[in-house]
Amino acid sequence: MAFFKSVPIVEVNKENFVQLWPTLLLSIKNSYFVAIDLELSGLGNRKNLNARCIEDRYKAIAEAVSSRAIISLGLSCFRLSTNDDTSKNQEHCNGEECSKNNFEKSFRFLVQTFNILVLCSEDYTVEPDSLKFLVDHGFDFNRQYSLGLPYYRGDDKPGTSKELSLRELFSELVRSNRPVVLHNGLVDLVFLYHSFYCAVPANISTFIANVAEIFPEGVYDTKYITDFHARLPASYLEYIFRKRQRDNIDKMESGKPYVDLEFLEYKNLPLCVEYRDCQVFLRGKEIENKSKVCKNFASHGWCSQGQNCPDSHNIDDILDAEGKKSKKNKKRRRKRNGENKSPSLKTSTSITMDTDVHEGNDKEMKDTINTPILDTELEKPLLKTTGIHRAGFDSFMTGFTLATYLLSYMSKMSSDSILCATRVGVEDLVNKIYLTGKDMPLNIVPSNFAKVSVSHREKLSSVMGKE
């Protein structure tokens, strides 16, 4: 459904890890792609992380992974799904043409999302700023220390390879050959590699060559896609998720292809499932929004005053302000062009959506959604999407964002159960990792002059030998 009200997120910890292991494996193996997000104890020197030289950036991250730790891991598995009618239609068509018919009105996914509590077994640094940020956003460190799944950094230790562990879960992800989706993904890639695979190599060219073999179906970075292809006004995760969510509703109401989500019901796991509210409340009449938007947060998703800022950090307020500005600009353009037509009055919901750049910049932006609204919904406040940071929910937002971009930028459909960039025409989106302050991404393509590391070759051989 386009109007999903909440997202079920299963907490995985050391008490239920064995019980949920089959579910985790099945979710990964059946996925079209897997979105990942990490919460970290810190990142070290921020200046070095944004060094002009990419090799220096990598060395700064490699230094951070040896002293900082992952504290939670989010996995959101998106499985390509079809309804009963579609299944019947498959009997009368084959291959690509059949798939094209299947997705004529929607791009349907069955989604399972997990928030895995993680606890490094070795000493690590917790930075005050990271600690404050996580506490301000409701992270429970007591729960993490008491229930976090243990892991160690670097290379495998003797006698531990057969244990059910986070390292073995990552090996299952590698064996599955599923595409991986990240947001601003370089740091997460290095942390994942060093924490659950083996020790990071000394230079970035070797790291790239190794990662290209670990994830042969590719790595997608939604921040790169947002900045270099969609070219939205901002590219932080909460903003693009909400913008794409609202645009997806607009597509559905306009009769265009849209992303249709299904979620599993976890009736047998009530104690470890959290439902994160992310509903777009539609209103029966236009309500003037008088909130002043924080300009810094609107642009970057960050404000030095944090929760003490007097201006709004509400993503809906930010999008509404953009919509009003867009309307004014269109009015001015109509005046300059001598168009005196007044827009027709609308009585339905006033929610501004973003323009689908793939369909052309001249597409008229929708001002309304023609959906009947119950009186009881009119008084509900708009969703405040700040304050909901969790690795699980962030991984879902990342996966949903990619799903909407795939629908926008695909040049053809494929009936494959795994996302294959070349078969759906999104080669320009894959294996390109966003680099802050750079006008080009980091390409996850091995150089002719770079060789994979010996430790990676041995590790990959061990992982794939278990199939």
pLDDT for residue 375: 30
- Dist CA 244 CA 242 (whole Å): 5
* CB contact at 8 A, 80 and 417: yes
**306 Rama sector, left if φ>0, alpha if ψ -120 to 50, beta otherwise:** left
Is a pLDDT exceeding 50 seen at residue 385?
no
Where is pLDDT greater, at 360 or 124? Answer: 124
Predicted pLDDT at 447: 81
Question: For the stretch 116-140, what's the b/e string if a residue is b when 16 or more beta carbons lie within 10 angstroms of its beta carbon?
Answer: bbbbbeeebeeeeebeeebeeeebe
Distance of alpha carbon 82 from alpha carbon 88, whole angstroms? 10
Residue (of 278, 255, 227) closest to 405 by Cα position:
227
What percentage of residues in the chain have a pLDDT greater than 70?
75
pLDDT of res. 347:
32
Domains of the chain, start order: 6-239+388-464 (3.30.420.10), 281-382 (no CATH)
Least confident of 2-16, 170-184, 378-392: 378-392
For the segment 237-248, the average pLDDT, to the nearest whole number, is 94
d(CA 218, CA 178): 8
Higher-scoring residue by pLDDT: 314, 26: 26
Confidence tier at 304 by pLDDT (50, 70, 90): low
Q: What percentage of the chain has pLDDT greater than the value 90? A: 58
| SS3 label, residue 443 | strand
